[in-house]
Amino acid sequence: MDPTIDQIIFLIVSILTLGAGFVVVTNRNLLYSALAMMASFLGVAAIYVLLDAGFLAAAQLLVYIGAISILVIFAIMMTRRLMQSTETSFNAQWGMGIFTALVVFGLFVAVIGNFWPLAPAAGQPLASGTAVPDGMLQDSIAALGRAFVSVDAFVIPFELASVMLLAAMVGAILVAWPKAEDEV
């Protein structure tokens, strides 16, 4: 069976994502880890594009690569001497950690693969009986926008998110504000 172009792209993107993720946890230099994390995020965004989830891909680019990675790099640069961190990226529990991660991964693959088959029978599309309806994929950004503000949909969680962000902002200022004795 010849792989289709989609499958080849998917393979390349997955290898990029997972390989970068591996570098994140094994590299001794935190800055390189952060840069590898950006590459990994980029791979995830590409997978979203392959899944026809354009909005999600854009959000991934803006939020994860644009904001979170920059923040992480800022934090590293401000708190450590750059390029000098030589601490090992493993601690005494790495064996247990790998074991737990593999067991949980195996469990997920077994359980979820049972419901959404990883290798569907020939001629059967890679989807279960309860896929997202086609109508939802058309014009999804406008539908998302309407759902956020209509009273029959998600207006209450949407509004509540603003209170949550207010609380988070207050907290951020509170934590970062100089303590009273530091003031001049």
Partner 1 sequence: MTPDIPRSWVLALAPEISLVILLLAVFLFDRLVKPTERRRVGLLTAWGAFAILLLTVGIWLVGGEPSTQTGLADSLMWGGMIRSDGVSLVFKLMFLVALAASSLISLDVERLQRGEFFALLIAATLGFSLMAASADLIMLYVALETASISSYILAGFATEDRKSAEAGMKYFVYGAFATSVMLYGMSLIYGITTQTNLYLVGSMVMNASSIPAEANAVLLLAAVMIVAGFGFKISAVPFHFWTPDIYEGAPTPFVGFVSTASKAAGFAVFLRVFSAGIFGAPDSSSMWWAMLVAMAIITMTLGNFVAIFQKNIKRMLAYSSIAQAGYAMIGLVTMSPDGSGATMFYLLMYLFTNIALFGVVMLVGKETNSVEMDSFNGLSRRSPHLALVMLFALLSLSGIPPTAGFFGKFFIFKAAVDAGLWWLALVGILNAFVALYYYLNVVKCMYLYRSDEEDKPIPVSRAVKVGLAVLIFFVLYLGVFAGPAFEWTREAAGAFFALAG
CA distances for 80 relative to 23, 68, 76, 178, angstroms: 20, 18, 6, 20
Task: Tell the residue number behind the tokens 């450590």, with chain if given.
Answer: 80
Rounded to a whole number of angstroms, the minimum distance from the CB of residue 8 to partner 1 is 26
Taking a C-beta distance cutoff of 8 angstroms, is the pair 26, 89 a contact?
yes
Q: Which stretch binds partner 1 (CB under 8 A): 7-15, 17-25, 58-66, 107-115?
A: 107-115
Report the C-alpha gap between 78 and 30 in whole angstroms.
Answer: 12
Residue 63 touches partner 1, criterion: CB under 8 A: no
Rounded to a whole number of angstroms, the minimum distance from the CB of residue 96 to partner 1 is 16
Q: Which stretch binds partner 1 (CB under 8 A): 6-14, 50-58, 69-77, 114-122?
A: 114-122
Of residues 125 and 129, the one with the C-beta less far from partner 1: 129
Interactions with partner 1, residue window 145-174 (CB under 8 A): 150-157, 160-161, 163-164, 166-168, 170-171, 174
Taking a C-beta distance cutoff of 8 angstroms, is the pair 85, 28 a contact?
yes
